[in-house]
A and B are shown apart, each in its own frame.
Chain A
């Protein structure tokens, strides 16, 4: 009965490779997010989707491309991986996010990416 799940939990890969991280939520939420947490534990938003529509796109390299096949899934594809991409990536979800409305976000367990 996991609420927000991510796969894989660990990902070790070589520089230059392309990889994907998958996220699924069974909370019935309409909004999903991707966050990056660096080695100093700083947590920063990357993307947000409302009902499969991109609503937040922070300054993230074009190598990162989120894809939402349906509102319960938000995957993150990373091209040409670099050393600096090593981090923990968290998926989260919330009720529909409208301007001026604030909804609690529920996080997945994280995907630990190590680029060698």
Chain B
């Protein structure tokens, strides 16, 4: 079956630093990977996704890296801001239609 985990449940960074949130997955058939941000009291919000034919994709201040060899996914946030404080979820999809989410990493940005 599919399982998705995160290396750290919490991450605390200083404002202006770069943040890296990691995710490991188990299903070799996973071919779509996605990151969501969930602020307190709100629903998950799409950040960035990547397909298995790529190993890197960049958005605005965010970069997703995919290492299929070790089944590892990471989200990098450049120049982290207080507004980035949230819980970040990775998700994978492959073989079935359903999206499987990891447990979430809570990012706290200290001013």
Contact = CB atoms under 8 A, between A and B. Distances in A.
Interface of A: 4, 40-45, 48, 55-56, 58, 90, 92, 97, 99, 102, 104-110
A90 B44 contact: yes
Contact of B101 (A44, A56, A97, A110): A44
Contact of B42 (A43, A99, A109): A109
Contacts of B46: 104-106
Q: State the majority secondary structure of interface residues on B.
A: strand
Q: Chain B contact residues (Cβ within 8 angstroms of A): what range?
A: 20 to 34
Interface in B63-111: 87, 89, 93, 96-101, 103-104
Given A43-B89, A102-B51, A107 B43 contact: yes
B43 A110 contact: yes
Given A41-B87, A43-B44, A90-B44, A104 B104 contact: no
